[in-house]
Amino acid sequence: MLVDYHLHTVYSRHAEGTILEYIKRAEALGIKEVCFTEHTSRQYLTEEFRAKLPYKWMKDEELPKYLDDLDRVRQHTSLTIKRGLEVDFFAGFEKPLQAFLEKWPLDFVLGTIHFIPKYDMAHVGLVSDEPIKLLCNYFTLVRQAVETGLFDSMAHIHLPWQTVPWPEGNEGKQALEALGDVVKAAKANNMCLEINTRAFNFEDYGTIEVYRKFLGLMRDYGVPITMGSDSHLPSEVGRNYPTVIEELARFGINEVAVFDQRERELIPLQQKVRR
Ligand SMILES: [Zn+2]
Ligand SMILES: [Zn+2]
């Protein structure tokens, strides 16, 4: 089966397309299940903290409407539609975040790190620092998020290595250890990590060799994957799936996680995908 567990629509404020437009595209590609993952508006943060964040994304009052919309579109498709959110992790707000997540009828919570406190809340893609420092700072935050146990999967761990080049020599080893610590923590916390298929666009620094290091760790530690395109346009649904599925197969990764009311199930990943 093919699934896409990372989709943004107009609700996320920086994406285009309605829920129904994404569904039509998924149907055309033979994808059987999708999970929408709009950015939360961070209801679990204090006003003071929120004021530091550079983007607004989905408004608080839109969340119930978004969830209602997802229920409504089910009548127009044979696709399985899941209710998700992409939720930013900030250390110190675990309790209110937990209360927020328990309040809403969600199938899937995709944890995420976009903004880095150490860099004055800059978006990871806009940070300039020594590669080893950015990589280790980012992986430390992802590991902390994993260790809260509040999320089902963590999004796009590749962001820092598409911002800076992966270092050579000892620093390269050190970065790999920090990445390995995230994967180990995911295993220890019975959590998934995302294969974000946008990473396979390989713009800038993110080469296939670096992504393969990550896939090797996922295989070695036996961490289940979620898979998503991180679409911000309906045309991006299922992006790079043929390539990604071939890569996953090389590492013996042939199952993908799906969620229902936060309960995980592993299903076989479809092996042949039209290019
Ligand atoms: Zn994201
Ligand atoms: Zn996203």
Distance (Å, rounded) from C-alpha 32 to C-alpha 225?
17
**Ligand 1 centroid, distance to 122 Cα (angstroms):** 14
Looking at residue 22, its amino acid is Y
pLDDT of residue 55: 81
**Where in the chain are the domains?**
3-268
Do the Cβ atoms of 229 and 191 come closer than 8 Å? no
Neighbours of 167 (CB within 10 A): 17
pLDDT of residue 225: 98
Ligand lying closest to the C-alpha of residue 125:
1
Residue positions counted in the chain: 275
Longest dimension (CA), the chain: 55
pLDDT of residue 214: 98
CATH architecture, range 3-268: Alpha-Beta Barrel (3.20)
Between the alpha carbon of residue 41 and those of residues 5, 16, 83, 128, 222, the distances in Å are 19, 18, 16, 26, 33
The per-residue DSSP string of 102-157 comes to HHS--SEEEEE--EEGGGTTEEGGG--S-HHHHHHHHHHHHHHHHHHT--SEE--T
pLDDT of residue 175: 98
Closest CA to 141 of 172, 122, 115, 109: 115
**Ligand 2 centroid, distance to 115 Cα (angstroms):** 13
pLDDT of residue 234: 96
Question: What string of pLDDT tens digits covers the 275 residues of the chain?
Answer: 999 999 999 898 888 999 999 999 999 999 999 999 999 878 899 999 999 998 878 888 899 999 999 999 999 999 999 999 999 999 999 999 999 999 999 999 999 999 999 999 999 999 999 999 999 999 999 999 999 999 999 999 999 999 999 999 999 999 999 999 999 999 999 999 999 999 999 877 889 999 999 999 999 999 999 999 999 999 999 999 999 999 999 999 999 999 999 999 999 998 877 77
Ligand lying closest to the C-alpha of residue 123:
1
pLDDT of residue 235: 96
**Ligand 2 centroid, distance to 195 Cα (angstroms):** 12
